[in-house]
Amino acid sequence: MSRPKILVTEVLGPKGLEYLRRHADVDAYDLLPPEELPPLMDHYDAVIIRSAHRLTRDLLIGHPRLKVVARAGAGVDNVDLEAATEFGIAVINAPGANAIAAAEHTFGLLLAVMRNIVAGDAHVREGGWDRAAFLGHELYEKRLGIIGLGRVGRQVARIAHGFRMQVSAYDPYLPQDIFQAHDVREVACLEDLAAQSDILTIHTPKSGPRLDEALLRRLPMGAIVMNVARGGLIDESALARLLSEGHVRGAGIDVFVDEPPASKSPLLSIPGVVVTPHLGGSTHEAMVEVGMMTARGVLDALDNQTPANLVNVPIPDLAEHHLKALDHAIRVAGRIFSRFNPRASRPLVLSVGQGFSPSVIPWLRQALLAAFLEGRVDERVNAVNALLVAEQQGVVLLVEEAHPESESPWLSLRQEGLPETELSVALHQGQLLLKKMAGIPIDLPWPDRALVTCHRDAPGVVGRVGSLVGRYGINIGQLHLGRRSPGQEALMILTLDTDPPDELLHALRQQSDIDNVYAFSRL
């Protein structure tokens, strides 16, 4: 299999480039002139940009080889997501690479404000030693309000728990289980969060809520305000007024509407305000991780896996190993079901077990549709554009919640009203188990290579199949049988050491009592 070819248009960092070059052929530039990018788009499987290039619809259209585009950073404002999704192009970014850096900087500023560290430092350097003048406050048991419980917000919550703070958050886009998983109290109303917060910090993209004067006045007297996210999320003039009045006691500001801020900006002259020059996500470690996270995501996407930093698919908040195991299970289930149901004309029904949280379902739907549709249509289909292609093909997928006895994550797929089409799989300690195929119970770890026969449960069938497979010099590792009832429809699944040739499959289909034969290899 040929190595993919990747274009890097700006400096990515040596570790990220080294990682890419171990797995792909890479052309890398310190800064590719933007006008030179369009004629290159046809020649690469993936393109990685930073901020100097814009990937518009006109630039993305008409490149069948291009599978992945990546932004080596958190924001993807310079990528047309709608167009990329329509064309089945995966969009990768590096959103969590600087999350720890931004969260730590938030607390660095917060401690500086609470303990008067900057003013105390200047006082000592000027020869002073007035300890009483710089008496500070503790974080212990203070009420912290977080606006935006994304990657940075969750890291802020983690650090806050170490200070024994009372942590609440507002994020209308997240399900309740995310708040529970991070031990954060959910507040449904932004105004209520402000009223309950001794310290209010915002960690949203530019599209997040703007903290205007009316909202800031809902803060308790003497509150602290933090912004290590985006300039413009807080009304700087209103914040300066409340600071001057003493309603807000202090602020830590890393980002401004205008950067650098004008020298006459009131926030620069008010005591109790600590400012830094947009340093939140800038650490040596974060810069390395941006390159590595981008590189890993691009290579995973090119390998038809689901990277956690895929932008235009609703990726669930799962540990990486768990996400990869589920991704594999979905791919296997969808492809097997598609082979067994070539003329599926009824709505498909996906049943999910109680081991799945609601936040996983949107991704499950798209990933399963992609696996089912792959090979059934001429165009590229993946989890990115699966919903669009399914709508065009008239494929409907319904989702229902099942209640199995086992608590391990599992799922099943069937045609509506046809239980005999059901396929179900389970995950046990990361291993994929096939539990039912064509409505017939069967229990086996799914192998890399499998030969499946659908046949009538009759004497001699198993022996004849085994003899034919042996005649072609193929070793059988394991054999599993399942049947609907004695003498009726049955399944045989053989685990093979090598892929069966087409001649063997043809010979098996000619055998009496065998209805169909399927070969599966490294799904």
The CATH code for residues 447-523 is 3.30.70.260
Q: Yes or no: say if 86 and 62 are a contact pair by the CB < 8 Å rule.
A: no
Alpha helices in 87-212 (DSSP H): 99-114, 117-125, 151-162, 176-181, 190-195
Identify the CA nearest to 110 among candidates 236, 188, 239, 227: 227
Give per-residue pLDDT as tens, 141-198: 999 999 999 889 999 999 999 999 999 999 998 888 889 999 999 999 999 999 999 9
Give the confidence band of 408 by pLDDT, cuts at 50, 70, 90. low
pLDDT higher than threshold 70 for residue 406 = no
Give per-residue pLDDT as tens, 244-258: 999 999 999 999 999
Tokens matching residue 336: 């097997």
Segment 434-444 shows an average pLDDT of 93
Give per-residue pLDDT as tens, 303-325: 988 898 999 999 887 888 888 89
Query: What is the structure's pLDDT at 464?
Result: 93
pLDDT higher than threshold 60 for residue 418 = yes
Give per-residue pLDDT as tens, 454-512: 999 999 999 999 999 999 999 999 999 999 889 899 999 999 999 999 999 999 999 99
Query: What is the structure's pLDDT at 175?
Result: 83
- Give me the long-range contacts of 471-478 (CB less than 8 A, separation at least 24): 472/500, 472/501, 472/503, 472/504, 474/498, 474/500, 474/504, 477/447, 478/444, 478/447
Identify the CA nearest to 467 among candidates 494, 499, 490: 494
Q: How far apart are CA 296 and CA 70, in angstroms?
A: 11
Q: Yes or no: say if 289 and 94 are a contact pair by the CB < 8 Å rule.
A: yes
Query: What is the structure's pLDDT at 405?
Result: 59
Query: What is the structure's pLDDT at 61?
Result: 95
CA 466 to chain centre: 44
User: Percent of the chain, pLDDT > 90?
Assistant: 78
DSSP bridge partners of 145: 168, 200
The domain segmentation of the chain, as residue ranges, is 5-95+286-312, 99-275, 314-446, 447-523
Query: What is the structure's pLDDT at 404?
Result: 55
Give the confidence band of 40 by pLDDT, cuts at 50, 70, 90. very high
Q: How far apart are CA 439 and CA 431, in angstroms?
A: 21
Query: What is the structure's pLDDT at 523?
Result: 75
- The count of C-alpha atoms lying within 13 angstroms of the C-alpha of 381, restricted to the half-sphere facing its C-beta, is 25
Q: How far apart are CA 513 and CA 518, in angstroms?
A: 15
Full DSSP string of 433-479: EEEEETTEEEEEEPPSEEEEEEEE--TTHHHHHHHHHHHTT--EEEE
Q: How far apart are CA 178 and CA 56, in angstroms?
A: 34
Query: What is the structure's pLDDT at 407?
Result: 59
Please state, in angstroms and as integers, the Cα–Cα distance from residue 392 to each residue in 138, 220, 365, 395, 449, following that order. 59, 54, 16, 8, 32
Give the confidence band of 1 by pLDDT, cuts at 50, 70, 90. low
Domains 5-95+286-312 and 99-275 share a fold: yes
Give per-residue pLDDT as tens, 41-99: 999 999 999 888 999 999 999 999 999 999 998 778 899 999 999 999 999 999 878 89
Give the confidence band of 207 by pLDDT, cuts at 50, 70, 90. confident
Q: Under DSSP, is residue 308 helix (H, G, I), strand (E, B) or coil?
A: coil
Tokens matching residue 58: 């006109």
Segment 24-36 shows an average pLDDT of 95
CA 93 to chain centre: 10
Query: What is the structure's pLDDT at 321?
Result: 86
Active site residues: 230, 259, 278
Identify the CA nearest to 153 among candidates 215, 107, 94: 107
Range 5-95+286-312: architecture per CATH: 3-Layer(aba) Sandwich (3.40)
* Domain 99-275, CATH number (from 3.40.50.720, 3.40.50.300, 3.40.50.11930, 3.40.50.620): 3.40.50.720
What is the side-by-side order of every strand in the sheet holding 476-483? 476-483, 489-496, 449-456, 514-521
pLDDT higher than threshold 60 for residue 389 = yes
Q: How far apart are CA 381 and CA 369, in angstroms?
A: 9
Task: Give domain 314-446's CATH superfamily.
Answer: D-3-phosphoglycerate dehydrogenase; domain 3 (3.30.1330.90)
Q: Yes or no: say if 513 and 457 are a contact pair by the CB < 8 Å rule.
A: no
Contacts of 290 (CB under 8 A, 6+ apart): 13, 16, 72, 73, 94, 97, 98
Neighbours of 189 (CB within 10 A): 10
Neighbours of 439 (CB within 10 A): 18
Segment 352-377 shows an average pLDDT of 88
Contacts of 475 (CB under 8 A, 6+ apart): 496, 497, 498
